[in-house]
């Protein structure tokens, strides 16, 4: 193929935008920032940036995630590409959105001041620039599907968690109550969690036992022909 073929066709920018989910105070939150440049300077925005010549899409997203969270190995997944002609009033830009699950126990709060960022409750989401609200809606839809079929929800926690906290997180993601008895019976029956000796007594004198997700037990669970379903 003639190399001029590429030169004869239009070029435009490619960006990544990250929907960064975190869990605190029994609610699902998203990390937002004030847009630092025109157009729409000062408006609420997702974290993002352009893909550089020497980067893959995943590498560009990982760069953005590390910049705003200072965490490596963050669980992330591509949502979809957004390519409406006039989606970015600054120019012709195609953006690929990723969602990420952040452990708030490890989040560096000093980053909020540095980047004028803050965690916003998913129920109180403000108007965002461009098509970022649509990205959030699409990411939340995908997250709800994935947490019902795969054990990715444990990436929200720093290893250990209580069953009440796990149920709170599911309810925050689905934005609806879940029957306590059925939820606990189902998650325990899969035998993919290890019960710890330690209890969390921050919310009651009786306390709640901590659990840890056991990846080896989960792999054995799959080999038996079973599937994760909540």
> Domain containing 178 — which CATH number?
1.10.10.10
pLDDT tens digit sequence for 107-162: 887 777 788 889 999 999 999 999 999 999 999 999 999 999 999 999 999 889 99
The answer to whether residue 58 scores a pLDDT higher than 90 is: yes
CA–CA dist 230, 173 (Å, integer): 13
Establish if 228 belongs to a structural domain: no
pLDDT tens digit sequence for 95-108: 999 999 998 888 88
Pair 195, 94 in one domain: no
Q: Which of 121, 149, 177 is the last residue of a domain?
A: 149
Pair 194, 139 in one domain: no
Residue 151, token pair as written in the block = 């054990």
pLDDT confidence tier of residue 62, bands split at 50, 70 and 90: very high
The domain in which residue 18 lies consists of: 4-149
Pair 178, 128 in one domain: no
Pair 54, 164 in one domain: no
Comparing CA positions, the residue from 177, 99, 174, 172 lying closest to residue 132 is: 99
Establish if 154 belongs to a structural domain: no
Predicted TM-score (pTM) of the model is 0.93
Domain count, the chain: 2
- 55: exposed, middle or buried (C-beta count within 10 Å: 0-12, 13-18, 19+)? middle
CA–CA dist 204, 199 (Å, integer): 10
Residue 138, token pair as written in the block = 């699409």
- 78 phi, psi to nearest 5 deg: -70, 135
Strand order in the sheet with 208-213: 160-162, 208-213, 193-200
């Amino acid at each position: 193929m003639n190399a001029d073929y590429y030169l004869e066709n239009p070029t435009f920018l490619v960006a990544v935008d990250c929907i960064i989910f975190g869990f605190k105070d029994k609610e699902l939150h998203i990390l937002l920032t004030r847009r630092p440049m025109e157009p729409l300077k000062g408006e609420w925005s997702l974290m993002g940036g352009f893909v550089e010549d020497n980067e893959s899409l995943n590498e560009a997203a990982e760069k953005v995630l590390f910049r705003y969270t200072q965490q490596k190995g963050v669980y992330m997944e591509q949502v979809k590409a957004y390519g409406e002609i006039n989606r970015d009033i600054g120019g012709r830009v195609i953006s690929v959105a990723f969602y990420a699950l952040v452990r708030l126990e490890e989040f560096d709060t000093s980053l909020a001041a540095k980047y004028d960022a803050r965690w916003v409750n998913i129920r109180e989401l403000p108007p965002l620039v461009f098509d970022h609200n649509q990205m959030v809606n699409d990411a939340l839809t995908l997250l709800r599907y994935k947490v019902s079929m795969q054990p990715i929800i444990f990436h929200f926690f720093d290893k250990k968690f209580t069953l009440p906290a796990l149920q709170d997180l599911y309810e925050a993601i689905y934005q609806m109550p879940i029957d306590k008895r059925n939820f606990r019976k189902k998650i325990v029956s899969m035998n993919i969690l290890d019960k710890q000796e330690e209890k969390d007594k921050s919310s009651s004198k009786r306390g709640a036992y901590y659990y840890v997700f056991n990846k080896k037990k989960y792999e054995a669970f799959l080999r038996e022909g079973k599937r994760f379903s909540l």
